[in-house]
Structure 1
Amino acid sequence: MTPEPVPQPSTDAPPEQPQPVAQPTHFDFDWSAAVNPLIGVDTADVPEQSAAEQSAASPAAPATAEQQPQAVGAAAPVPAEELVRKNQHGDPLARRMGRNVRRAVGGGSREAREMAAFVELMQRSVPSTRQIAIASVRGGAGKTTMAALVATELARHRQDRVLAADADAELGSLPLRLGVRSQLSLFDLAGQNPRSFEEAARFLSRTPEGLFVLSSTRGGRIAGEFTLETFQNALNVVARYVGATVIDCGAGILTELNRGVVAASHGLVLVTPGTVDGALSARGALEWYAANELGDLLRRTVIAMVSHAPQVGADLHRAHQMLTAWGLPVVFVPYDRHLATGSSVDMSKVSAAARSSVTRIVHEVFARALTAPTR
């Protein structure tokens, strides 16, 4: 039997198309939530970006002598804004429109009076730089966010210089929340002897609101552990040139660094979650301060209870009664969608209710700080 001829491929057939090369899987990683976790951030909303897009959005800064060598294979830090799919506003659109209508018809007289009193306070001169510490019993309370809000609000209304200093020796995220990144840190400033503020400002970053920032990290990376002495040396170099300094303490109240910062401050904002557990932990902190020679500072303390979820089932009225029994102002800060993203704070996108709470916190703590003796 004659074998059948094997069919030959047609010369007119189109060339074989190359198979697509499998791309590596990109795992979502919420950097901002990792350094300052906040309940309510949906990591599913974090967009993927190619390396080329990240490189185009964040060109590498030229190397400086002060920069530390980067580990082999280490990726450049991703700006927090690139990890947020939608730039959330704290208030829904309908609420913002309703507020504008009320303003147009002459509503909000009480708010106007409160703001006038706040502006008058912000115009008062200080006998010496006023130091305000922002502390919390544990991490995740919203302390760094509160430090960014308090410092920004002061910088927006004060005529003198305002400094925000990061005293977190682990991975302080205050620069991230303020939208700045510095290649120099407090390590570089400690031991210097600048003869003017302009010389000291080389070691600082600055926000669009005019707030100066002293970072504990270099380029968003851990620079190393530091002692209370190192922090105070760096702070003293620049503090004499500013009217107010807001210090973001590390988590907890028992470390030597945090105790030293709080003891040297003229005012304290104690941040706690707006829950039953948060109220109990705040009470425990107050008891500890009173028993450890910080009772005098309690008269200049404001408690900020921060809600990290839209709905809170805690009996906040009972919590308020328990904490105000100490004779301290307790300010509730409502959940805010913009703040919950964990990216840099934009005051124009913070909800009206949250802004009002922050203004009251600043008013209460700064008024008390003005009455404190010079340290």
Structure 2
Amino acid sequence: MPNADHNWQGDLLRDLKSTGPAGAGTPADPRPSVPPARPEPTAPGPAAHETAQAHAHAHAQAPAARAWPGTPAPPPTPDSLPVIDKAMAAVARRPVRGEAVALRAARAVRRIVSGSAAREVAALTRTAEVLQQPVTTGRQIAVTSIRGGAGKTTVTALLGTTYAHYRQDPVLLVEADPALGSLPLRLGAEALRWTTADLADIAVPQMSLLDVTGYLVQLPDNAWLLPGSQGRIGAMVDTVTYERVMVALRRYFGVTVVDCETLPAEVARVALSAAQARVIAAPATLDGVTSTYSVLQWLRALPAHVIEGTVVALSVTTPRPGIDVDAAAERLASAGARVHVLPYDRHLAAGGPLRTELLARPARLAATRLAAEVFELSQKRR
């Protein structure tokens, strides 16, 4: 492994470990090469969240007050707004597990009887090794779709939480779909302050990782969120703003996953072009598959590395889809992209905050394999 890998990631980890008690932001022990047997960690409790937010707010004030040489004064600190108000949150039901108890039990018995458990562990070990590969520069992964409701925000959240779970270096999730985007809600964020447009006017090369993370929303497992808006209609991110933010933040994070606007919006096209790997989210419906196939045909007309670095995440959103999912996946793959099917999962279909411990095993495994292939493709493009 090149020395540059050690130096780049080591500097980031030292920055994070110096943030306060218990090394806030970085796990104390190295991650295992095999997924843990226990459920993935849940979001921190209210007290821990309040502590993390207060810590992040304190860092946000320090860089905002500094007069960096040759840079304009930063904008005034915006008010912190809740992701969802209490009255609206009250209509939500209790989160459900991805599978019913009977299905989970039957699946466990089949794994034991068929002897597939050992093969599955071996496959997961290989997948974990891919996800934990070092990087010399930050990898950017863009997620988009041809229309709303295709599952791109869900796919973004799944990718980001998977990378954060397996990797040691910081992971960033960026919302570049600011018009009432739902990424903060999907990730379980409670309040938002700074946005993509704000950070574009603030970030300068002299900043440390601690300065930067003061403007971000802290998530579990050493992950961070940069929201596109505070839930207001009319907020926009143009291509200039997007490029400034991504260039400024790239060196701080090992992997950045971007929830883009839908195609053919200009920011989405810029994001797809600049990313080392692309994910097209498609619902497992006839119109979803047809429109996504058209997008893939368009990508084939671009330089070859674009389609070669593209993966389709075909999401099954109902228990009984109206198409032959395997045949649809084969048809999409004929256009030159890799295709991964995300099976139906009750927890994902509910649309609330993503809690990985509630996902059904098939959905969790599919998301992990998708993340591994996308990351591996991003490593091929320097």
Does TM-score exceed 0.5, indicating one fold?
Answer: yes
- 1:182 equivalent in alignment to 2:192: yes
1:31 is aligned to: none
Per-residue Cα deviation, 1:84-134 (whole angstroms, up to 9, x for no partner): 222210011123334555677864222212210111112211121000011
3-state SS in 2 of match to 1:258? helix
Query: CA–CA distance in 1 between the matches of 2:127 and 2:88?
Result: 32
Q: Name the amino acid aligned to 1:186.
A: T
Task: Report what 1:234 is aligned to.
Answer: 245
In structure 1, the partner of 2:100 is: 92
Aligned partner of 1:211 in structure 2 is 223
Structure 2 equivalent of residue 144 of structure 1: 153
The SS at the match of 2:220 is coil
Q: Which moved more, 1:112-121 or 1:316-325?
A: 316-325
Q: Give the deviation of 1:278 after TM superposition.
A: 1.6
Deviation at 1:330, TM superposition (A): 1.3
Runs of 5+ in structure 1 lacking a partner? 1-57
Q: Distance in 2 between matches of 1:294 and 1:305?
A: 24
Change (3 A) 1:327 1:114: farther
Contact 1:335 1:354 in 2 (8 A): yes
155-164 or 332-341: bigger deviation? 332-341
Describe how 1:124-273 pairs up with structure 2 within 5 A: 124-180=133-189, 181-192=191-202, 193=204, 194-218=206-230, 220-222=231-233, 224-251=235-262, 253-273=263-283
Partners of 2:296 and 2:337 within 8 A in 1: no
Note the C-alpha offset of 1:237: 2.2
Letter in 2 for 1:114: A
Partner Cα distance (2:266, 2:157) in 1: 23
Please report how far the alpha carbon of residue 80 of structure 1 lies from its aligned counterpart in structure 2 after TM superposition: 7.2
Which 10-residue stretch deviates more, 264-273 or 282-291?
Answer: 282-291
Unpaired stretches in structure 2, ≥5 consecutive residues = 1-49, 62-75
1:351 to 336, 352, 360: 360
SS in 2 for 1:127: coil
CA distance in 1, matches of 2:333, 2:310: 11
CA distance in 2, matches of 1:142, 1:80: 22
Task: Kindly provide the CA deviation profile for residues 23-66 of structure 1, in whole angstroms up to 9, marking residues without a partner as x.
Answer: xxxxxxxxxxxxxxxxxxxxxxxxxxxxxxxxxxx9xx999952
2: CA distance between counterparts of 1:351 and 1:248?
Answer: 24
The 1-side partners of 2:338 and 2:80 are apart by: 47
Cα offsets for 1:317-338 (capped at 9, x unmatched): 3312211213332111111111
**2-structure distance, mates of 1:229, 1:211:** 25
C-alpha distance in structure 1 between counterparts of 2:225 and 2:104, whole Å: 31
TM superposition shift of 1:75: 12
Q: Relative to structure 1, is the Cα distance of residues 79 and 215 closer, same or farther in structure 2, using a 3 angstrom cutoff?
A: farther
Query: Aligned equivalents of 2:156 and 2:125: distance in 1?
Result: 23
Determine helix, strand or coil for the equivalent of 1:302: strand
- Is contact 1:276-1:316 (8 Å) kept? no
CA distance, structure 2, for counterparts of residue 344 and residue 79 of structure 1: 17
Tell me the equivalent position of 2:15: none
Q: 2:77 aligns with which of 66, 70, 79?
A: 66
Indicate how the Cα distance of structure 1 residues 80 and 153 shifts in structure 2: closer, same or farther if over 3 A, else same.
Answer: farther
Deviation of the 1:83 alpha carbon: 3.2
In structure 1, the partner of 2:308 is 299
Residue type at the aligned position of 1:207: L
User: Contact 2:314/2:329 (CA < 8 Å) preserved in 1?
Assistant: no
Deviation at 1:234, TM superposition (A): 1.9
Give the aligned residue type for 1:85. Answer: R
Whether the aligned pair in 1 keeps the contact of 2:179 and 2:235 (CA below 8 Å) is: yes
CA contact (8 A) 1:249 1:261 kept: yes
The count of residues paired between Structure 1 and Structure 2 equals 308
Counterpart of 2:201, as a letter, is G
Using a 3 Å threshold, how does the CA distance of structure 1 residues 136 and 254 change in structure 2: closer, same or farther?
same
**Offset, 1:76:** 6.7
**Selected match of 1:121 from 130, 150, 165:** 130
Give me the whole-angstrom Cα distance separating, in 2, the residues matched to 1:202 and 1:208: 15
Deviation at 1:79, TM superposition (A): 8.3
Query: Equivalent residue of 2:367, what SS?
Result: helix
| Greater helix share, structure number | 2
